[in-house]
Amino acid sequence: MPEQQPSLLIVDDDEDLLRMLATLLENEFRVTPTATSQAALQSLKESLPDVMLLDIRLNEPKDGISLLNEIIRDFPGIRVVMMSGIDDSEVIVKCMRLGAVDFLVKPFNSAQVQERLHKVLLENKKQRRAIALEERLEKIDPTNLIGNSLKMKKLQDQIAAITQYGHTSVIIRGESGTGKELVARSIYQQGYRKNELMVIVSIPSLSANVVEAELFGYEKGAFTGALQRHIGYLEKADGGVLFLDEIGELNQEMQVKLLRFLQERTFSRMGSTESMSVDVQIIMATNRNLEECLKKSTIREDFYYRIRSFEIALPPLRERKEDIPVLVEYFLNRLFQQGRTKISQASTKVLEQFMAYHWPGNVRELENAVESSVIYANYRNHNVIELDDISLRVNHPPAIGEDALIQIEEKGTDLERSLAGWELKYLEKALRMSQGSKSETARLLGLNDRFALRRRVKSLQERYPELVMQHQHVCQAYPMHKSKQRRKT
Question: How far is 457 from 408, CA to CA, in rounded Å?
Answer: 25
Chain mean pLDDT for the chain = 85
Task: Residue count of the chain, please give it.
Answer: 489
Beta bridge partners of 267: 276
pLDDT digits (tens, 9 = 90+) for 250-298: 999 999 999 999 999 999 999 999 999 999 999 999 999 999 999 989 9
The span from the CA of 12 to the CA of 53, in Å, is: 8
Could you give the maximum distance between any two Cα atoms of the chain, in Å? 100
Own/partner pairs for 324-329, CB < 8 Å, 24+ apart? 324/351, 324/354, 324/355, 324/366, 325/351, 326/146, 326/147, 326/148, 327/146, 327/147, 327/363, 327/366, 327/367, 328/354, 328/366, 328/370
Integer Cα distance of 13 and 59 in angstroms: 6
pLDDT bin (cut points 50, 70, 90) of residue 488 is: very low
What residues does each domain of the chain span? Answer: 7-120, 139-313, 318-389, 415-486
Which residue from 448, 401, 441 is spatially nearest to 423, judged by alpha carbons?
A: 441
Comparing 343-352, 379-388, 403-412, the range with the smallest average pLDDT is 403-412
Q: What local confidence, expressed as pLDDT, does residue 162 receive?
A: 96
What is the mean predicted confidence (pLDDT) over 26-46?
A: 91
The CA distance from 9 to 22, in Å, is: 9
**pLDDT class for 489, splitting at 50, 70, 90?**
very low
**What percent of the chain has a predicted confidence (pLDDT) above 70?**
89
Among the residue ranges 16-20, 86-90, 286-290, the one predicted with the least confidence is: 86-90
DSSP 321-333: GGGHHHHHHHHHH
Q: What is the pLDDT of residue 133?
A: 44
Rounded to the nearest angstrom, the gap between the alpha carbon of residue 101 and the centroid of all alpha carbons in its chain is 21
- Domains 139-313 and 318-389 are alike in CATH topology: no
Please, are residues 457 and 474 in contact by the beta-carbon 8 Å criterion? yes
Kindly state the average pLDDT of the residues 66-76.
Answer: 90
Q: How far apart are CA 92 and CA 103, in angstroms?
A: 7
pLDDT of 304 strictly over 70: yes
Lowest mean pLDDT among 33-42, 127-136, 194-203, 336-345: 127-136
Exposure on the CB side of residue 374, measured as CA atoms within 13 A = 22
- Sign of the dihedral through C-alpha 322, 326, 329, 335: negative
pLDDT given for residue 41 in this prediction: 92
Residue 408 banded pLDDT, cuts 50, 70, 90:
low
Lowest mean pLDDT across 11-15, 311-315, 319-323 = 11-15
Task: Report whether pLDDT(437) > 80.
Answer: yes
pLDDT category at 407 given cuts 50, 70, 90 is low
Whether the predicted pLDDT of 401 surpasses 50: no
The architecture CATH gives domain 318-389: Orthogonal Bundle (1.10)
Q: What is the dihedral of CA 90, 93, 94, 97, to 10 degrees?
A: -160
Burial classification of residue 210, based on how many CB atoms lie within 10 Å of its CB (0-12 exposed, 13-18 middle, 19 or more buried): exposed
Cα dihedral across residues 219, 220, 225, 231: positive or negative: positive
pLDDT in tens, 98-136: 889 889 988 888 788 888 888 888 776 555 545 544 554
- Encode pLDDT of 440-468 as tens digits: 888 888 877 788 888 889 888 888 888 88
Local confidence band at 158 (pLDDT 50, 70, 90 cut-offs) = very high
Lowest mean pLDDT segment, chosen from 215-229, 416-430, 472-486:
472-486
State what percent of residues in the chain have pLDDT above 90. Answer: 48
State whether the Cα torsion 406-412-415-417 is positive or negative.
negative
Give domain 139-313's CATH number out of 3.90.650.10, 3.40.50.620, 3.40.50.300, 2.60.120.10. 3.40.50.300
In this predicted structure, what is the pLDDT of residue 83?
Answer: 92
87-103: b (≥16 Cβ within 10 Å) or e: eeeebbbbbbebbbbbb
Q: Going by DSSP bridges, is the β-strand pair 80-84/102-105 parallel, antiparallel, or unpaired?
A: parallel
CATH of 7-120, one of 3.40.50.2300, 3.40.50.620, 3.30.1490.20, 3.30.300.30: 3.40.50.2300
In the prediction, which pLDDT does 91 show? 87
What's residue 396's pLDDT? Answer: 42
Q: Is 237 exposed, middle or buried (0-12, 13-18, 19+ CB in 10 A)?
A: buried
